[in-house]
Amino acid sequence: MSIEQANNTAVNRMMEARPILKGVALARDVIPGMKDNLILHAGPPIEWERMSGPLRGATIGAMLFEGLAKNETEAISMVESGEIEFDACHHHDTVGPMAGVTSASMKVYVVENVEHGNKAYSNLNEGYGKVLRYGAYSKEVIKKLHWMNDVLGTALAEALARSDGIDIRALIAEALHMGDEGHNRNKAGSLLYLKSISPLIARVVKDNSVLSEVLAFIGDNALSVLNPVMAACKVMTDAAHGIEKSTIVTTMARNGTDFGIRVSGLGDKEWFTAPAEIPVGLFFSGFTQEDANLDIGDSTITETAGIGGFAMASAPAIVTFVGGSPQDALNATLEMYEITFGENKYFTMPSLDFRGTPTGIDIRKVVELGITPRINTGIAHKDAGVGQVGAGLVRPPLAIFEQAIIAYAEKYNL
Amino acid sequence: MSIEQANNTAVNRMMEARPILKGVALARDVIPGMKDNLILHAGPPIEWERMSGPLRGATIGAMLFEGLAKNETEAISMVESGEIEFDACHHHDTVGPMAGVTSASMKVYVVENVEHGNKAYSNLNEGYGKVLRYGAYSKEVIKKLHWMNDVLGTALAEALARSDGIDIRALIAEALHMGDEGHNRNKAGSLLYLKSISPLIARVVKDNSVLSEVLAFIGDNALSVLNPVMAACKVMTDAAHGIEKSTIVTTMARNGTDFGIRVSGLGDKEWFTAPAEIPVGLFFSGFTQEDANLDIGDSTITETAGIGGFAMASAPAIVTFVGGSPQDALNATLEMYEITFGENKYFTMPSLDFRGTPTGIDIRKVVELGITPRINTGIAHKDAGVGQVGAGLVRPPLAIFEQAIIAYAEKYNL
């Protein structure tokens, strides 16, 4: 099989994957290898000593949420004594935005690719501002997580159990016609999610006041659907992984310190990493570029699957959030055609005459042209405990694609 | 005051109007001059003899709904014997899409312009296909209307009564950033409406199964918010009406036979009319251009207020519904700057670098340039009883603008 054929197989599997949101369940019950003392995190694997502020903050928060520690000091000392294990979400069929911290008692979305049979998991979205995934861990943050787990999560689980599931590929396709790009702008997608889930939730929540709160929480959070979308992109890109000879990127992820990628033809746990960049963007009142942490999160799984920064031509209004002009957003998409294998069959952009989004990053093209993927992202404060400070644009370091090309040449004796 | 100053006043009042959806009530209780034997209809005034099929069909349907007649024959004979009165919705602060037929027992939205104090009303949206507003009046149509009045209408009324109302200008502004144009494409707007109303409805409907049905009905109808949007545009354009010397169009409306306009400086009941055109567009399976009725409906109040066909640059995906290409949609908006007074302060289009929508049609420019307003519209079958057959594009006849210019010259001795 030629490289071209291998890439064709990989990208077709990515596009033909049909991610259906099937349910919500406890992480410990569904995530492979989940344990009570295991903290999953975004990006490539990393040890505590090298973790950035927001990832440390989210870890402390998860330990408080789990009841593993009573306070920050106790949490840190437990970690330092080796009682807590860490691993990358991606090693457990899981993805999480920003810090991506997922612990055993958290409820997670279950997305199944009904075409190829693989599954992926992602936690529930907390909304904006002071939230665990940006490294905040105050009492209010933990209290909200408990409400999300006990009330929202239970409602979602019971609602989805009564349905055949929600077709997330169809939802993304529709949202791209409604000004979303699927990563930082999931406003339309989240409302499409509300539309699908609200009649189901209405049947299972008997208390009117609780029901009202749950619907308001889902509807008011323009990122409600981000996590199911990420899990959908994860099953799509996982379906493209492991194709012998393929040079297509199947993972892009950041842990707040390193940016890592994996490549379809280069094995399961082989990460190529280099220091992550600092996103440049627009900051919330009171914060500046100085406060920004290095790039963090598994949410680049969206760009890996051909949406997010790659579909910004569909989302000109996103510039009010990440900076730049609508023309820049259009140019971002156009540039990505240079480094991708094909155009998406299912994700089309009306503003480009319904052209498919650029899909399937080819490490050969990235290195040959020196064009790295465009990513739009939330920006975390660099210190633990603060939270989100803005949103902006970033790219991965070129070095990781060069490393991948070298590893590829070695593996395949080129 | 110069014409320019007058138009500035008119267009500023149009833009500064703040339409808030305040409630849902029985037409007979709130619409000025409403009576039990009065049928309000879209467009300029028209007598039964000259009414098109869909308007006749909707009239028959409303009489069946009201219990005024037991069947079609009885309804027609009552109309012919003069027992039923007709008047234009616009003469009663009301607007209705397509046939626009509104009768005393129907529930209607109440929209108040909290800036200038005027109000407008519009009925509840039935969705697509075989519906009263397209002239259908089968048992299923009437049954659905009763459910909408008794169940949906009651839920909406009680929900809105518990709130401060919903800001429809803000909703439109947001929807224009999400691929809507506010007339034929209200997909995002309807979901924003669902987002606002669902937590309120969740508090007032105690039966879970009824609540689920109501939320599904609102969420699944991508035109749910069209009627509040039309009432919002009505209070905006009414606020611009009656400015001495102004040449700004404050009403465009069609009854399925005639297209009529009114002009700010030319009095309250003075309509300029000419035969309506036939829209050209895309047809539902089984129907062709041959089936199309002449242009019908009050929904051109959206274009009058600077959205709809005038904002199509924001809604490239609408071409899948009305025909043409995304470039045509963009060109429609660009052309409308030629015949409008200004650019909207609140309704902006990301794809045009957040330029305001062309707002305030100036009859002088229309006649001087020979460019008539662009309208996108649903298409009704020409026979009573059938329903919607497609959607497309249309323009008003130039003659009505020429008539208005002559009347203006006479009134102001130019």
What are the residue ranges spanned by the domains of chain B? 3-229, 240-411
Flag whether residue A70 sits within 8 Å of chain B, measured between CB atoms. Answer: no
Q: Which two tokens stand for residue B345?
A: 């302060």
Of chain A, the percentage scoring pLDDT greater than 90 comes to 98
Given an 8 Å threshold on Cβ–Cβ distance, is A350 in contact with B326?
yes
- State chain B's mean pLDDT as an integer: 97
Given an 8 Å threshold on Cβ–Cβ distance, is B202 in contact with A203?
no
Domains B3-229 and B240-411 equal at CATH topology level: no
Tell which CATH architecture fits domain B240-411.
Alpha-Beta Complex (3.90)
CA distance B279 to chain A (A): 23
Whether the predicted pLDDT of B178 surpasses 80: yes
- Return the minimum-mean-pLDDT range out of A80-84, B79-83, B309-313, B318-322: B318-322
Name the strand (E) or helix (H) holding A215: helix A208-220
Whether the predicted pLDDT of A269 surpasses 80: no
Whether the predicted pLDDT of B152 surpasses 80: yes
Mean predicted confidence (pLDDT) in A301-320 = 97
Whether the predicted pLDDT of B264 surpasses 80: yes
Largest Cα–Cα distance of chain B, in whole Å?
65
* A56 band by pLDDT with thresholds 50, 70 and 90: very high
Contact B293, B274 (CB under 8 A): no
Among candidate residues A135, A401, A398, A394, the one with its CA nearest the CA of residue A277: A394
- Convert the pLDDT of each residue in B278-337 to its tens digit: 999 999 999 999 999 999 999 999 999 999 999 999 999 999 989 999 999 999 999 999
Given an 8 Å threshold on Cβ–Cβ distance, is A219 in contact with B179?
no
Given an 8 Å threshold on Cβ–Cβ distance, is A350 in contact with B209?
no
Given an 8 Å threshold on Cβ–Cβ distance, is B326 in contact with A351?
yes
Backbone angles phi, psi at B353, to 5 degrees: 55, 40
Pairs of residues, one from chain A and one from chain B, whose beta carbons lie less than 8 Å apart: 105
Amino acid B74: pLDDT: 98
Flag whether residue B350 sits within 8 Å of chain A, measured between CB atoms. Answer: yes
- Convert the pLDDT of each residue in B104-143 to its tens digit: 999 999 999 999 999 999 999 999 888 999 999 999 999 9
Which residues of chain A have a CB within 8 Å of the CB of B191? 188, 191-192, 194-195
Report how far apart the first and last C-alpha atoms of chain B are (Å, whole number).
15
- Convert the pLDDT of each residue in B206-236 to its tens digit: 999 999 999 999 999 999 999 999 999 999 9
Given an 8 Å threshold on Cβ–Cβ distance, is A353 in contact with B220?
no
Amino acid B129: pLDDT: 82
For residue A230, the SS3 value is helix
Of A191, A205, A351, the CB nearest to B191: A191
- Convert the pLDDT of each residue in A151-180 to its tens digit: 999 999 999 999 999 999 999 999 999 999
Amino acid A1: pLDDT: 82
CA distance A154 to chain B (A): 17
B residues 201-240 near A, CB within 8 Å? 202-206, 208-209, 211-213, 215-216, 219-220
For an interface test with A, the pick among B163, B177, B354 (most A C-beta atoms closer than 10 Å) comes out as B177
Cβ contacts of A66 within 8 Å, gap of 6 or more: A36, A103, A104, A105
Task: Quote ipTM for the complex.
Answer: 0.96
Q: What class, spelled out in words, does domain A18-229 have in CATH?
A: alpha beta
Whether the predicted pLDDT of B384 surpasses 80: yes
Q: Does domain B3-229 have CATH number 3.90.1710.10?
A: yes
Whether the predicted pLDDT of A114 surpasses 80: yes
Of chain B, the percentage scoring pLDDT greater than 70 comes to 100
Given an 8 Å threshold on Cβ–Cβ distance, is A179 in contact with B209?
no
Amino acid A129: pLDDT: 82
Whether the predicted pLDDT of A200 surpasses 80: yes
Which residues of chain A have a CB within 8 Å of the CB of B351? 316, 326, 351
Among candidate residues A260, A227, A214, A189, the one with its CA nearest the CA of residue A102: A227
Between CA A357 and CA A313 the distance in angstroms is: 9
Amino acid B230: pLDDT: 98
Model pTM above 0.90: yes
- State chain A's mean pLDDT as an integer: 97
For an interface test with B, the pick among A215, A321, A331 (most B C-beta atoms closer than 10 Å) comes out as A215
- Convert the pLDDT of each residue in A229-259 to its tens digit: 999 999 999 999 999 999 999 999 999 999 9
**The domain A241-411: what is its CATH number?**
3.90.1700.10
Of chain A, the percentage scoring pLDDT greater than 70 comes to 100
Q: Nearest-CA residue of chain A relative to B185?
A: A178
Between CA B281 and CA A354 the distance in angstroms is: 19
For an interface test with A, the pick among B152, B178, B314, B322 (most A C-beta atoms closer than 10 Å) comes out as B178
Mean predicted confidence (pLDDT) in B67-87 = 98
